[in-house]
């Protein structure tokens, strides 16, 4: 397909996805018609399937000279694989979700969130600019927040959605830091241009912090230990969402990012160490955890975490074989895991439970689901002739041939073997155990699922076998281009199902038998110590930190912001006064040169006289109204002084502001408590000391300014350039609207916020039951 | 305040003061003035009217809630900053029309920015004042 065609399709896809996402919830369509929305991802899928990936070409939509924010896309092998997964599995999920959610409210809302998420996810995998990628990345976090918390009246749903958002959001923030660092190092934010500046990045002193920050983002998104717990928590989402987000798309965004950046970082030793150790730890830990779960979705969630660990591990290992293995494994995992999730959803839909202890003998009543379960378990366990078998072979081949340090092949192979065995056992727990022959089937006359509840997972599970028998189908179109994109150099490999009797085959057999033994052992359930150990996991640590932070903030707010204006003023002024005082006392010479002072005219004398009188009147008057009026007089006399010293702008503003202030005071006068004359208490004396101190300091500073030779560069610059550059003769105004215009923009925003604040404080009173205390 | 003199005066003062505030706004680029002061003067004009005729009368005269001026002003100011970006200049670059226009003077993006400031100032100060005087 021509490049221009692809551009048009891309734009069309994004726009239609986002528009549909916004339009669907409001549209009055019934659920049957909203099921047709699957056509959107399906047409996108067709386009992506026929578009030829290119590693060279970058499709640029919008470029700017002044911002590093070029909206550009790249459609290479890696992007193609992910786009196909997102739109392909997305199509099936749409069909499935429409059937699954048939009798529930808000089906359209779910579909629109799914579309929004899909658009964001496509943006992540297609963007060539790191900052644009980050934007879409955050959008996936936000839209998945809505999806996970879809049952928004359920407390547990809310909590897990918030947990997922805060973990991935924190990681995303760190990642933005990392992106900016490497963008500055490479002097470009385009990923494809970065590839030619690899040495610049690797030798830069910021390299390590940048790498760590980016990994934090990728690891949180892809649920690596110790951030993995949000993913099992996110199982509170409706099952179609879990099948989509947590098998094929969102959680793989982290893996995608690692794969995308692999050509840049793969030379680094740190990259290898961190990825293999975190990936290795995650895959073992999560696979082990999955064996103890009884909820089908929980088992699948932990096996997903483990599979993500495998991917991170393989990317970290690097080398041609590992890269090919991960390229294939991303596809294999998406196929069988989405099938598994939908299977679990259908069982739940028909029987009302997902607990494997309560399910047995379903094979007789739901034979189609049994078949799907077996096919998915085949691919998951790597039994020939599934594509999983090919994938597993590649993993073992890469670990066996890994020579970076002594014993490496043994250690890495052992870790992979253990993980794979446990994953196989977990797959049997989901795909076989509920269907196993039983003398007392749990649901003998269960309702048969409708077509769309079994066809999508059946398709995916069958594809796992078809690809296994004919690996040539995915070899040239997917695996080779993907591996080339991940490795950064051209890779051409040939996938075969049968290698003959060699070490790899023996290890595969050992995996299967170990998996079977584990399965037989773990189908009778959880030892106690596991539940105890779960109480001290990373999740609890995070919750503890979050809770203590909340209570600290509550304490701090109550102490520092007690609602009494005089305390705020006192704190602000004393801090300011002591800082200023420290500098002034250390550096001031206290020399007053009478020569430099201008003479005091009679007008000034009178004005100052009025000023002082009105200050005393403000302080000691017996009525509040008089005090307010006197305050106004203070302001006006200051205006006059400004006029004397040729600052008409200041005088004008001061004059209007003072007028408004007096009006304001008069308006609130009636609502203030009765005016009471108090005797001088220690508090008043403290206030007086602070006020006089600040006043004295300001006077000293003003005198000191006279004494020092003034720095004139800035004011000269403005005076020189205000007409030349900004075509204005009034320097003050030119500074406000042009030279420092951004400041003014923010100031008027603040002004508006203040007005809205006053309005909402006074107008929008809470109803009684909404009040906190 | 229910005095006939103030009432009559405010009837004429309001348009005059508003005109004056626009004058201050426009001359700001060359002589003392500008959007901020202009906005305050306009706000005072309305407040004066409210004092003489009562708040409901002024609100009826204004037709819209002054709060709506804030987003409008912010949008104008922001768009005047965005505008140069269409020509691939940095955000808020001053752009000017070559020949000055009678009465207004030279027309540029800074003027629109100042108009935005003017509207925001009127909107926020009137929102605050009206809200406070309305609340019982």
Which residues have a Cβ under 8 Å from the Cβ of A764 and sit 6 or more positions away?
none
Quote the distance between the C-alpha of residue A503 and its chain's center.
43
Least confident interval from A152-156, A341-345, A593-597: A593-597
CB contact residues (below 8 A), chain A span 481-540, against chain B: none
pLDDT tens track for A454-478: 888 888 888 888 888 888 777 778 8
Inspect the interface and report whether the beta carbons of B30 and A728 lie closer than 8 Å: yes
Alpha carbons A370 and A351: distance in angstroms, whole number: 14
Nearest Cα residue in chain B from A737: B110
DSSP A599: P
The structure tokens listed for A173 are 């923030």
Cβ distance B89 to A736 less than 8 Å, yes or no, reads: no
Mean pLDDT of A206-225: 89
Q: If you search the block for the tokens 């004011």, which residue do you land on? A: A715
**pLDDT per residue as tens, chain B (136 positions):** 567 888 888 888 899 999 999 998 888 777 778 888 899 999 999 988 888 888 888 888 888 889 899 999 999 988 888 888 777 777 777 777 667 776 666 677 888 888 999 999 999 999 988 888 887 5
pLDDT in tens, A632-661: 999 999 999 988 888 888 888 888 889 888
Q: Does domain A564-723 have CATH number 1.10.10?
A: no
A183, A190, A300, A507, A726 from B88: Cα distances, Å: 21, 19, 51, 61, 18
Residue A61 and residue A129 in contact, taking contact as beta carbons nearer than 8 Å: no
Q: Which two tokens stand for residue A142?
A: 């936000």
Question: Across the interface, do A660 and B131 touch by the CB < 8 Å criterion?
Answer: no
| Per-residue pLDDT reduced to its tens digit, A536-566 | 677 777 778 888 988 999 998 888 888 788 8
DSSP annotation of A71: E
Radius of gyration, alpha carbons of chain B:
17
Query: Has residue A29 got a pLDDT over 60?
Result: no
How is residue A204 annotated by DSSP?
S
Total count of residues recorded for chain A: 773
Distance from C-alpha of A69 to C-alpha of B25, rounded to nearest angstrom: 36
Query: Cα A577 from chain centroid?
Result: 41
User: Rounded mean pLDDT of A511-532?
Assistant: 70
Nearest to A736 among B34, B70, B124 (CB): B34
Which region among A322-336, A367-381, A628-642, A758-772 has the lowest average model confidence (pLDDT)? A758-772
Answer whether A660 touches B (CB < 8 Å).
yes
Looking at every residue in chain A, the average pLDDT score rounds to 82
Task: Check: pTM over 0.80? Answer yes or no.
Answer: no
Q: How many CA atoms lie within 13 A of A545 on its CB side?
A: 8
- Chain B neighbors of A752, CB-CB under 8 A: 70-71, 74, 120, 123-124
CB contact under 8 A, B132 and A653: no
Q: Tell me how many residue pairs between chain A and chain B have CB atoms under 8 A apart.
A: 145
Ordered DSSP codes for A397-413: HHHHT--SSTTHHHHHH
Cross-chain Cβ contact B110/A726 below 8 Å: yes
Strand partners, B101: B105
Contact yes or no for A65 and B88 at CB 8 A:
yes
| Domain extents in chain B | 4-134
Range A295-316 average pLDDT: 89
The SS3 of residue A55 is coil
Which residues in chain B have Cβ-Cβ distances shorter than 8 Å to A763? 131, 135
- pLDDT band at residue A243, thresholds of 50, 70 and 90? confident
Q: What is chain A's Cα-based Rg?
A: 34
Contact (CB<8Å) B128/A656: no
Q: Give the distance from residue A470's alpha carbon to the nearest chain B alpha carbon, in angstroms.
A: 53
């Amino acid at each position: 397909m021509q490049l221009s065609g692809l551009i048009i399709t891309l734009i069309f896809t994004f726009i239609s996805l986002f528009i549909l996402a916004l339009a669907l919830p409001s549209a009055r369509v019934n659920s049957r018609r909203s099921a047709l929305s699957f056509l959107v991802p399906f047409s996108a899928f067709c386009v992506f399937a026929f578009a030829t990936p290119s590693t060279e070409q970058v499709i640029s939509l919008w470029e700017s000279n002044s911002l590093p924010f070029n909206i550009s896309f790249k459609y290479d092998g890696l992007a193609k694989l992910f786009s196909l997964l997102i739109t392909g599995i997305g199509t099936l999920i749409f069909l499935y979700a429409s059937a699954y959610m048939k009798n529930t409210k808000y089906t359209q809302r779910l579909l629109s969130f799914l579309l929004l998420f899909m658009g964001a996810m496509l943006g992540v995998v297609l963007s060539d600019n790191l900052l644009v990628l980050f934007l879409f990345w955050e959008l996936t976090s936000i839209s998945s927040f809505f999806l996970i918390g879809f049952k928004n009246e359920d407390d547990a749903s809310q909590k897990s959605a918030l947990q997922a958002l805060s973990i991935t959001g924190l990681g995303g923030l760190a990642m933005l830091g990392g992106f900016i660092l490497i963008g500055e190092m490479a002097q470009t934010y385009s990923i494809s241009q970065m590839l030619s500046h690899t040495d610049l990045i690797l030798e830069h002193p910021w390299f390590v912090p940048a790498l760590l920050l980016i990994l934090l983002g990728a690891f949180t998104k892809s649920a690596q230990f110790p951030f993995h717990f949000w993913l099992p928590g996110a199982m509170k989402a409706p099952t179609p969402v879990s099948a989509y987000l947590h098998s094929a798309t969102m959680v793989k965004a982290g893996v995608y990012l690692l794969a995308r950046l692999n050509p840049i970082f793969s030379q680094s030793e740190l990259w290898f160490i961190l990825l293999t150790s975190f990936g290795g730890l995650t895959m073992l830990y999560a696979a082990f955890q999955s064996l103890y779960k009884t909820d089908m979705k929980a088992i699948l969630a932990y096996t997903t975490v483990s599979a993500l660990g495998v991917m991170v591990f393989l990317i970290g290992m690097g080398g041609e074989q590992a890269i090919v293995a991960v390229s294939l494994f991303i596809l294999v995992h998406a196929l069988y895991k989405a099938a598994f999730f939908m299977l679990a959803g259908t069982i739940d839909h028909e029987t009302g439970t997902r607990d494997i202890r309560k399910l047995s003998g379903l094979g007789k009543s739901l034979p189609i689901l049994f078949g799907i379960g077996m096919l998915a378990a085949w691919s998951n366990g790597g039994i020939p002739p599934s594509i999983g078998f090919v994938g597993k072979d590649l993993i073992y081949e890469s670990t066996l041939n890994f020579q970076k340090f002594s014993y490496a092949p043994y250690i890495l192979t052992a870790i992979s073997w253990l993980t794979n065995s446990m994953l196989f056992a977990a797959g049997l727990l989901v795909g076989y155990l509920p269907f196993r022959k039983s003398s007392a089937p749990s649901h003998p006359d269960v309702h048969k699922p409708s077509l769309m509840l079994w066809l999508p997972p059946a398709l995916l599970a069958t594809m796992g076998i078809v690809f296994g028998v004919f690996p040539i189908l995915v070899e040239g179109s997917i695996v080779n281009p993907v591996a080339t994109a991940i490795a950064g150099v051209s890779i051409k490999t040939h996938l075969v199902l049968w290698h003959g009797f060699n070490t790899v085959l023996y290890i595969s057999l050992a995996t299967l038998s170990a998996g079977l033994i584990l399965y037989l052992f773990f189908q009778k359930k959880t030892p106690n110590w596991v539940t105890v150990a779960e109480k001290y996991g990373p999740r609890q640590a995070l919750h503890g930190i979050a809770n203590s932070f909340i209570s600290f903030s509550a304490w701090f707010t109550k102490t520092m912001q007690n609602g009494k204006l005089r305390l705020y003023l006192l704190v602000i002024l004393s801090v300011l006064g002591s800082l200023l005082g420290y500098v002034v006392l250390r550096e001031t010479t206290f020399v007053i040169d009478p020569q430099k002072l201008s003479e005091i005219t009679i007008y000034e004398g009178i004005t100052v006289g009025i000023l002082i009188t009105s200050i005393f009147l403000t302080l000691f008057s017996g009525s509040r109204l008089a005090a307010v009026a006197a305050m106004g007089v203070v302001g006006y006399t200051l205006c006059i002084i400004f006029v004397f010293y040729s600052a008409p702008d200041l005088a004008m503003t001061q004059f209007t502001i003072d007028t408004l202030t007096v009006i304001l005071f008069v308006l609130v006068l009636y609502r203030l408590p009765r005016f009471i004359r108090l005797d001088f208490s220690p508090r008043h004396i403290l206030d007086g000391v602070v006020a006089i101190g600040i006043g004295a300091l300001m006077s000293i500073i003003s005198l000191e300014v006279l004494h020092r030779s003034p720095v004139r560069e800035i004011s000269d610059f403005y005076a020189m350039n205000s007409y030349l550059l900004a075509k204005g003769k009034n320097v003050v105004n030119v500074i406000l609207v042009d030279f420092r215009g951004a400041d003014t923009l923010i100031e008027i925003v603040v002004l508006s916020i203040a007005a809205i604040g006053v309005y909402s404080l006074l107008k929008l009173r809470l109803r009684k039951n909404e009040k906190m205390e | 305040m229910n005095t006939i003199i103030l009432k009559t005066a405010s009837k004429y003062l309001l348009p005059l003061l508003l005109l004056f505030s626009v004058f201050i706004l426009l001359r700001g680029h060359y002589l003392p003035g500008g959007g901020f002061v202009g906005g305050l003067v306009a706000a005072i004009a309305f407040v004066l009217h409210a004092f003489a005729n009562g708040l409901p009368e002024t609100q009826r005269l204004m037709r819209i809630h002054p709060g709506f001026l804030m987003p409008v002003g912010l949008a104008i100011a922001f768009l005047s900053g965005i505008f140069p970006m269409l020509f691939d200049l940095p955000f808020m670059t001053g752009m000017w029309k070559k020949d000055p226009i009678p009465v207004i003077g030279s027309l540029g993006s800074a003027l629109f920015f100042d108009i935005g400031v003017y509207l925001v100032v009127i909107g926020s100060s009137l929102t605050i004042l009206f809200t406070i005087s309305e609340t019982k």
